[in-house]
Chains A and B, each alone.
Chain A
C-alpha cells in the first residue's frame, strides 16, 4: 500500500520545511524599522489596499477548466481499454461512441470561442 508512504513523506516534507523556516527566523539578525514592514510598492507610499477590486477573469477560466478537465479524465479509462476492445472485435463501436463524446467536447469548445469566453483584454 503506497498510502502509508504518501502520508509519511507528506509529514516529513512539512516538518522539514517548518524546521528550516524556524531555523532561518532564529539565525537572522533583526533590525527594526517601521518603513520596512510596509507593503512593497515601487518606491512610493502604498497606492491601494490589498482588497482593491481587480477585474479577474479567473473564475471563468476556472469553471471552464473544471468542465473540460472532467471530460478529459473521462477519456482516460476509455484509452486504457481501447486496444483490448479492438482485439476483441468491438473496436468500431467503442470508437464511434467516443467520437460522439469528442464531438460534444469540440462543440463546447467551439461555442466558448464563439461566445468570446476565451478573449483576454
Chain B
C-alpha cells in the first residue's frame, strides 16, 4: 500500500476512483446500449430527458432508488440480499489490477512542515506480478453471485438460469484460459505492465536469425496472435453473459434468468456487475492485443517532451502524460464496448446445446491448436 500516510491515502483514493469509474460507466453504457439498439433497429431510443436523452441515466437511478422493497416469500433471505452485493466485487477486483496509463512520478514537496516524496504512483488500483492469473481467477468468481441469486430467490426459473449461466461461464473459461497461453509465450511474463511495454514501437520480430521490421504497423499482439485474439474475444462474450451467449436469460423460456425475482436497486447492482465484466474484457483485449495505453507510433518519451513544453517539466508534465495515455486507453475501451453492443443487437441467440458444443468441441480444440502452432513457430524462429 505504501510507506507513509500520503502514499497510503493516495492509493486508497485511487482504488475508490477506479471503482467509481466502473460504476459511473454503467449508466453511460446503458444509455449507449439503448440508443445504439434504437439506431440499429431504426427507431428512437430514450430522447426526452435532457439533450439526446443523456439525463435518462439520472432519472433511471432516482427511479431505481425509489422502487418498492420486495422479497419473495419463498426466498432464502441472506442469499437473496448477498447476491447483488457479491456481483459487484469480482469485476471491481479485476478492473483495479489493469494498468490504465503510464505511472505518474511526483517530485518531493513541502506539506504540513514536512518534506514528502518523491513518489511514483501507478495509474491502476494495484500492480500484481501475476496479473493475468489474478484477473482470470477473480473474474470467474462471478459464478458464485449468479448461483447465490438463482438459489436464493426460490424460483425454478432463477435456478435454471443460474445453472445455465454458471455452466456456460466455466465452459468458456477453458477456451479463454487456453487462448492466453500463446500470448504468455510471446511476452514471457504474467505482468500486464510489462506486456504493454513490449508492445511499444513498430512491428519488429526475430525470424531465423533475421530481424524483420515494418514501419507502418504498430508492435501489437494482434499481429502475432490473431487466432488467439479471436478466441479470447468470443469467449469473453460468453463470460460476461452477453448475446449471442446470453442463454442465462433466454426471455422466451426462462423469463429473465437468474434475476427474475429482482427489481429496483438490487437489479441495478447486477447490471453494474455485468457491465463491469464487459469493461474488464475490453480492457484485457486492449492490453493483450492492442498495446494497452500505448499510442501507436508515438513513444512515451515523446509525449513527455510535449507535455513538458505545455505545462513545464516535473509533476504536472508527468500527470499530463498519464492523462493523455489514459484518454487513448479509454478510446480503445470504447471501441471494444461498442463492438459488444453492436454484436448484441445484430446476432440471434444460440441454442443451449449449440453453445456448449461451440465451447467444448470447437473453441477448445482451436485454442489448443493455437498453442501448439505458436510453440512450433517459436521453436523454428528462435533457433
Other-chain residue from B69, B170, B189, B361 in contact with A24 (beta carbon distance below 8 A): B69
A-B contact count (CB 8 A): 200
Interface residues of A in 9-65 (CB under 8 A from B): 9-10, 12-14, 16-18, 20-21, 23-25, 27-31, 36-40, 42, 48, 50, 52, 54, 56-58, 61-62, 65
Q: How far is the CA of A13 from the CA of B12 in the complex (A)?
A: 12
B105 within 8 Å of A by Cβ? no
What 1/0 mask marks residues of chain A from 73 to 106 whose CB sits below 8 Å from any chain B CB?
Answer: 1011001111110110101100100110010011
- Pair B67/A24 contact, Cβ less than 8 Å: yes
The interface size of chain B toward A, counting residues with CB under 8 Å, comes to: 79
Q: List residues of chain A with CB within 8 A of the CB of B181.
A: 72, 75-76, 79
Q: List residues of chain A with CB within 8 A of the CB of B378.
A: 82-83, 86, 91
Q: How far is the CA of A83 from the CA of B66 in the complex (A)?
A: 58
- Pair A118/B188 contact, Cβ less than 8 Å: no
Q: A24-B264, A57-B167 are in contact. Are A91 and B127 (CB under 8 A)?
A: no
Closest to A89 in B: B383
- Pair B266/A21 contact, Cβ less than 8 Å: yes
- Pair A21/B84 contact, Cβ less than 8 Å: yes
Q: List residues of chain B with CB within 8 A of the CB of A36.
A: 70
Q: How far is the CA of A28 from the CA of B310 in the complex (A)?
A: 51
From DSSP, what is the main secondary structure of chain B's interface residues? helix
Q: A82-B375, A102-B372 are in contact. Are A20 and B269 (CB under 8 A)?
A: yes
Closest to B174 in A: A68
Q: How far is the CA of A72 from the CA of B170 in the complex (A)?
A: 13
Q: List residues of chain A with CB within 8 A of the CB of B376.
A: 95
- Pair B154/A50 contact, Cβ less than 8 Å: yes
Q: A17-B269, A24-B264 are in contact. Are A38 and B73 (CB under 8 A)?
A: yes
- Pair A40/B185 contact, Cβ less than 8 Å: no
What 1/0 mask marks residues of chain B from 346 to 379 whose CB sits below 8 Å from any chain A CB?
Answer: 0000001100110011001100100110011011
- Pair A9/B96 contact, Cβ less than 8 Å: yes
Q: List residues of chain B with CB within 8 A of the CB of A106.
A: 368
Q: A48-B156, A73-B177 are in contact. Are A9 and B125 (CB under 8 A)?
A: yes
- Pair A12/B173 contact, Cβ less than 8 Å: no
B305 within 8 Å of A by Cβ? no
Q: How far is the CA of A89 from the CA of B383 in the complex (A)?
A: 8
Q: A9-B96, A76-B184, A120-B356 are in contact. Are A61 and B171 (CB under 8 A)?
A: yes
- Pair B15/A9 contact, Cβ less than 8 Å: yes
Q: How far is the CA of A110 from the CA of B81 in the complex (A)?
A: 42
Other-chain residue from A50, A79, A87, A92 in contact with B156 (beta carbon distance below 8 A): A50
- Pair B368/A105 contact, Cβ less than 8 Å: yes
Q: A9-B19, A65-B170, A83-B188 are in contact. Are A40 and B66 (CB under 8 A)?
A: no
From DSSP, what is the main secondary structure of chain A's interface residues? helix
- Pair A13/B379 contact, Cβ less than 8 Å: no
Min CB distance, A31 to chain B, in Å? 7
Closest to B186 in A: A83
Stretch at the interface among B32-40, B85-93, B207-215: B85-93
- Pair A5/B126 contact, Cβ less than 8 Å: yes
Min CB distance, A14 to chain B, in Å? 6
Q: A36-B70, A82-B375, A118-B356 are in contact. Are A21 and B188 (CB under 8 A)?
A: no
Q: List residues of chain A with CB within 8 A of the CB of B73.
A: 37-39
Min CB distance, A68 to chain B, in Å? 5
Of the A-B pairs whose beta carbons lie under 8 Å apart in the complex, a sample of 30, sorted by A's number, is A2-B97, A5-B11, A5-B126, A6-B93, A8-B1, A9-B15, A13-B89, A17-B269, A21-B85, A21-B265, A21-B266, A21-B269, A24-B64, A28-B69, A37-B70, A38-B72, A40-B255, A54-B160, A54-B163, A65-B170, A65-B171, A68-B364, A69-B173, A72-B177, A75-B371, A79-B184, A80-B185, A83-B185, A95-B376, A121-B353
Residues of B within 8 A of A (CB): 1, 11-12, 15-16, 18-19, 64-74, 81, 84-85, 88-89, 92-93, 96-97, 125-128, 132-133, 154-157, 159-160, 163, 166-167, 170-171, 173-174, 177-178, 181-182, 184-185, 188-190, 255, 260-261, 264-266, 269, 352-353, 356-357, 360-361, 364-365, 368, 371-372, 375-376, 378-379, 382-383
